[in-house]
Amino acid sequence: MKKLLLTTALMLAATPAFAKDYTIKEVTNPNGGKDAYYFSPKKLTIQPGDTVTFVDAQDDTHDVMFNVVPKAVDEMIMSPMLEKQGDKWSYTFTVPGTYRFHCHPHEALGMKGTLIVGEASKPGETKKVSHHEMAEHAKNGTSDHHDAAASSLPQGTGTIKSIDADKHTVTLTHDPIKALGWPKMTMQFTVDKGVDLSGYQAGDVVSFTLKPAGKDDYTIVNMKKGR
């Protein structure tokens, strides 16, 4: 009897019935400072088949984008924007290796993390993904999107959060931009010199046209008020 139980336990251990669920919190430190935004834990090891749920710990805007993944991963791993406390997003990891992720709005502020599935990848076994570029390729196939006619440039709508007249940039919360596969995000954009920013202020709802500018960046080349 004892032997039978042990055999059953070993069999079960090899099945996904034992897959585990993990939680990583996206935290905003009310005291600000150096660690104002972070993932908790920021490093986690799981087994293939396990699921990780990212949870917005406060009423703040976070997302999750995987920018380094094992080479065998063939999809973009990216959450929608999590906007209020308790908002969550889950993903089940099946490909073993090393994954790195960040929160897009807070990447520059150091909100990054590492996930190991099974065993860490050896050098050369991972690849970098630019989520913006991947979305662009998904849309255009292998064609060079720089050749796209102006009429096919991605259009967006959103609300201006702030304007830097000197740098000629706007920070805006844009609605999802389907053409690029972007979820709703708060981002800073460089604005083409041809667009007069003096008539705009924080709170304005705008429609805009984006033009690829370099590897993983877009410039606003056209903007008008209203949706």
Nearer to Cu ion, 89 or 208 (CB): 89
CB of 45 to Cu ion, least distance (A): 22
Q: Which residue is nearest to Cu ion, using beta carbons?
A: 103
CB of 118 to Cu ion, least distance (A): 27
CB of 214 to Cu ion, least distance (A): 24
Pairing of strands 97-102, 43-46: unpaired
CB of 158 to Cu ion, least distance (A): 18
* N residues, the chain: 227
CA 32 to chain CA centroid, nearest Å: 22
Nearer to Cu ion, 57 or 117 (CB): 57
Cα separation of 20 and 161, whole Å?
40
Nearer to Cu ion, 57 or 103 (CB): 103
Cα separation of 74 and 166, whole Å?
41
CB of 106 to Cu ion, least distance (A): 3
Report yes or no: 85 and 56 within 8 Å, Cβ to Cβ: yes
Nearer to Cu ion, 59 or 125 (CB): 59
* Residue entry with tokens 């000197």: 166
Kindly list the residues in this chain that would bind Cu ion in the complex (CB under 5 A): 37, 62, 103, 106, 111
Nearer to Cu ion, 62 or 132 (CB): 62
